[in-house]
Structure 1
Amino acid sequence: MLEEYRGKKIGKHLMAEAENLSKERGSKLVALATRRADRFYESIGYDESAKYFKKHFS
């Protein structure tokens, strides 16, 4: 992410729009996986509910 865009609430506004579209479609829940943005999502009202694990096979 370009540092010049940090702190301008762009992500907050994008998530609000995504939430509004989800509600319009009848969704009751938004769930997502993140590794680095947990503080951001907590700041906009999301609660941590689970850990996400994965395993790659070579």
Structure 2
Amino acid sequence: MFVQLNERVFLNLNKITRTKIDHVEDGIRVRFYEGQDQVAKSQRFDDVKKAEKWLKKLLKSA
């Protein structure tokens, strides 16, 4: 199942083994992994709750 992260990136959820909400230099991002390799990351969020809400909405649309 493919979902669109933004206007240029489609993500195959069947291959995603884990997601991680992570604090990085410029804010909070959701990272998507296939095994040990990071394959995509989301836009920047101001807080963890907004990132969680976005991720839940993305997964429901799939």
TM-score class, shorter-chain normalisation, is under 0.3
Report which of the two has the higher share of helix. 1
Report which of the two has the higher share of strand. 2
Bigger radius of gyration among the two: 1
Q: Which of the pair has the greater relative contact order for Cα pairs under 8 Å at 6+ separation?
A: 2
